[in-house]
Structures are given as structure tokens and as C-alpha cells.
């Protein structure tokens, strides 16, 4: 079945690409959002980081995870939220440059090829419907679609619902504040019994959003929840 808004969106993206040819976020060369040869220059998230939440600078499991015992198995992110990665995520999210999604989703898929994880479905972290309407799309869903296509895994857009519209996490200072802000913001709306689910988001800051998504999935019977974001 054809989806007219999506088609119009793709048409608009293509028109924009013609008017404003993509430029590499690292070297500025025209032609793509990121040259292959520039990928190694992106700021990588290097060890040590927490085995569970990927908090940089921690080795083993960090004190926060030992106390909070997150319901996800682990969070992984190939990059740090800095430099060109920060610029690209910002453009995808706030500058309406949806055409970046294949490039960024491709980087996530590359990471999964290097670090495979066996999953039954991908679940993008949902936006509250009101915020998604305002933005016109959910950037996490665009990334998940690209990853799903590459690793041949179904994208389960409908499994999670953001039922509470909380203030943006970016306005919250501390880790505890962020956890409380987002706790119980999500509901699982479809059966996930026995499934291994991979949550996808653009950026992880403290892991509170991933935790808030993982809890209802596990409560609904998911056998394991993993989380992958582009940057931490």
C-alpha cells in the first residue's frame, strides 16, 4: 500500500538533495554526507566504558548500573557525541535532514556487522505522538529502518508507545533527575513474549531512556533487550 506522506517526504528530500548537495561532515567535500575515507576520523567511543551502560571511563560494571540493575543487557554505541557525529545527529534531528538517515543507519549496521547480536526485532525509541507530529518523523525509526534493511531484521515500530510526554531529557541535569523524568514514559503495546529486542536510538546520554524502554519490554516477556545508539 502506498503511503502518500512518506512519498511526499521522499520527494522533498530528493529535491533538497538536488538544491543542496550533501557535504561530508568531516572534510566538507561535496557528494555524500560522509566519505568512506573520513569514517575512521569520526570520534569513536573507546574502551574503557561500562560493560552495561557504556558510560565512558568506567571499567567493568559502573556503580550506577550495580545499584540500578538496568533491564537491558547492555548499551552499545560506536561513537562519542562530539564533533562531526554531533553535527550529523543534530542535522537529522533538528534541521529536518532526513536524507542523513541512510548514512547514519549504515554506520549502526556496520557496527552490528563487527559486533553481531542475535535479535528477533528492532524497536526504535518512540517519540511522544505529539512531538512526532511536530517534527514530522521519528529519527530513531528512520535509523532502525536502515539497520533492519541491512541486517534483515524486522522493525517493530508498534511495540513501544511513549504514553507520557515528558520534558526533554536535554533539560535535565543529573542522572537521577533524568531517570525520574522518563520513568514509566513508555508502554509495551504488542506481544514480545520470548523475543530478543534491539532498541535503537540516535544518542544515549545516561541510558535512562533505554532503561525506561527496556523495563516494559521485559515486563511483557521479552527474553532479552539490547540497546544500540549512534553516540554516547
* Site residues (vs Zn ion, CB under 5 A): 24, 26-27, 29, 35, 38, 50, 52-53, 55, 62, 65
Nearest approach in angstroms of CB 24 to Zn ion is 3
How distant, in Å, are the alpha carbons of 17, 94, 153, 167 from that of 91? 14, 6, 26, 21
Q: How far is the CB of 26 from Zn ion (least distance, A)?
A: 5
Task: List, in sequence order, the alpha helices (H) in the chain.
Answer: 4-19, 63-68, 83-94, 101-114, 129-135, 139-151, 175-182, 208-219
**Is residue 202 within 8 Å of residue 85, measured between CB atoms?**
no
User: Shortest approach of Zn ion to residue 27 CB, angstroms?
Assistant: 3
Which CB atom, from 88 or from 121, has the smaller least distance to Zn ion? Answer: 88
Residue closer to Zn ion (CB basis): 65 or 127: 65
CA of residue 57 relative to chain centroid, distance:
22
Nearer to Zn ion, 52 or 138 (CB): 52
CB 200 to Zn ion: min, Å? 19
In whole angstroms, the minimum distance from the beta carbon of 92 to Zn ion comes to: 18
- How do the residues of the chain divide into helix, strand and coil, expressed in percent and rounded to 5? 45, 15, 40
Measured from the CB atom, the residue of 5 and 40 that comes closer to Zn ion is 40
Q: Are 140 and 200 in contact (CB under 8 A)?
A: yes
Q: Which is nearer to Zn ion, 26 or 101 (CB)?
A: 26
Amino acid at each position: 500500500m502506498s503511503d502518500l506522506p512518506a512519498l511526499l517526504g521522499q520527494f522533498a528530500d530528493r529535491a533538497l538533495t538536488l538544491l543542496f548537495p550533501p557535504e561530508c561532515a568531516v572534510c566538507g567535500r561535496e557528494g555524500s554526507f560522509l566519505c568512506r575515507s573520513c569514517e575512521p576520523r569520526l570520534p569513536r567511543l573507546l574502551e574503557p566504558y561500562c560493560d552495561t551502560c557504556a558510560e565512558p571511563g568506567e571499567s567493568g560494571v559502573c556503580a550506577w548500573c550495580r545499584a540500578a540493575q538496568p533491564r537491558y543487557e547492555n548499551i552499545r554505541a560506536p561513537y562519542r557525541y562530539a564533533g562531526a557525529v554531533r553535527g550529523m545527529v543534530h542535522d537529522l534531528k533538528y534541521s529536518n535532514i532526513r536524507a542523513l538517515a541512510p548514512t547514519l543507519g549504515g554506520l549502526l549496521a556496520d557496527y552490528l556487522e563487527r559486533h553481531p547480536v542475535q535479535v528477533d526485532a528492532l524497536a526504535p525509541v518512540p517519540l511522544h505522538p505529539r512531538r512526532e507530529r511536530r517534527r514530522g518523523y521519528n529519527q530513531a525509526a528512520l535509523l532502525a529502518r536502515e539497520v533492519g534493511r541491512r541486517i534483515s531484521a524486522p522493525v517493530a515500530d508498534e511495540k513501544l508507545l511513549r504514553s507520557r510526554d515528558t520534558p526533554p531529557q536535554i533539560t535535565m541535569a543529573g542522572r537521577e533527575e533524568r531517570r525520574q523524568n522518563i520513568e514509566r514514559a513508555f508502554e509495551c503495546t504488542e506481544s514480545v513474549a520470548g523475543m530478543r529486542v534491539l532498541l535503537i536510538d540516535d544518542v544515549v546520554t545516561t541510558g535512562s531512556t533505554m532503561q525506561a524502554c527496556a523495563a516494559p519490554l521485559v515486563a511483557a516477556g521479552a527474553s532479552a533487550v539490547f540497546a544500540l545508539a549512534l553516540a554516547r
